[in-house]
Every structure is written in structure tokens, then in C-alpha cells.
Structure 1
Amino acid sequence: MATSTITSKGQITIPATVRAALGISAGDKVEFVQVESGRFELLAATLPVSALKGMVKKPSKPVTIEEMSEAIASNGAKAK
């Protein structure tokens, strides 16, 4: 497992093995995507959008329009 240390400025050096596996080099952008509480994935921002496939799980059952409207109405009222 590759590890890095965070500097006082909040910076890290991405290990060479990780950069090679992601196909990134100096000047490339990366994205930090939260996949669950306390867990992130590092993605090369140069990847096609199809690389994001599978990151968001499908709901166990489809949500109806009525259920969506109900959730929006109840949660919207709480925000006021």
C-alpha cells in the first residue's frame, strides 16, 4: 500500500506507483469523490465520464414521481 504524509499546507505527494496506475503526471488534475462517510476515491480528471460508472448504486426499488414530490415537499418545508 502506498502512503503519503500531509504537509502543514495540506499538500501530499502522490506516490509514483499511484501516479503511474492513474496515468497522471505533473499538471494533470485529480478529483476526490466521496463514496461513503470517511472514504474517498481519487480519480484522474482526464478520464472519460464512463469511468464513473458504478460509483452510485442503484436504489433497491424504483422511486415514483409521487414519492419524489412528497420527499421534496416535506424536506423543503423543513429547510425554511
Structure 2
Amino acid sequence: MSESSITMKGQTTLPKTVRQALDLGPGDRLRYVILDGGQVRIMRTRSVSGLAGMLRRTTQAPVTLDQMDEAVAQGANDRP
């Protein structure tokens, strides 16, 4: 378990083990989620551009926007 103290300005330094676990570096941003029972979850935020390719499937060929529109239209037509 890692610990740190709070300064007079309300600041703290994240322990190295926490920075490594979250893969944090200078300039990275954090999100704090307050949970029940006085607990807080710390998460590294990611920019939208960092999400590119996250859902890529190597076994599936990419599709065009026209193909996506066609699939959506077909799905709408298939509904009762």
C-alpha cells in the first residue's frame, strides 16, 4: 500500500508505484470518482484521439461510411 501526505495548499505527490500502475507521466490528467464509504477512485483520463483503434478487430476488414450507413438502414428495415 502506498501513502502520501497533503501540503498546506491541498497538494500531494502520487507515489511512484501509483504513477507506474496508471502509466502516468508529466502532463497527464487524472479523474477522481468519489465512491460510497469515503473511498475515491483515481483514473487516468485519455483524450479522444487516444481512443483511435481501441475497438479494432484484426479479424474483421475495415468498412466504409457508406457500408455502415447501409448496415444501419438494413437493421432499421428488419425491425418489426
- Per the normalisation by structure 1, the TM-score is 0.55
Stretches of structure 1 lacking an aligned partner (at least 5 in a row): 49-80
Q: Percentage identity across aligned positions?
A: 38
Distance 2:7 2:46 in 1: 26
- Describe the superposition over 1:1-47 as per-residue Cα deviations: whole angstroms up to 9, x where unpaired: 10000000000000011000001111100011012141110000128
Q: Secondary structure at the match of 2:20?
A: helix
Q: Secondary structure at the match of 2:43?
A: strand
Q: Secondary structure at the match of 1:9?
A: coil
Number of equivalent positions = 48
Stretches of structure 2 lacking an aligned partner (at least 5 in a row): 52-80
What's the RMSD between the two structures over aligned residues?
A: 1.6
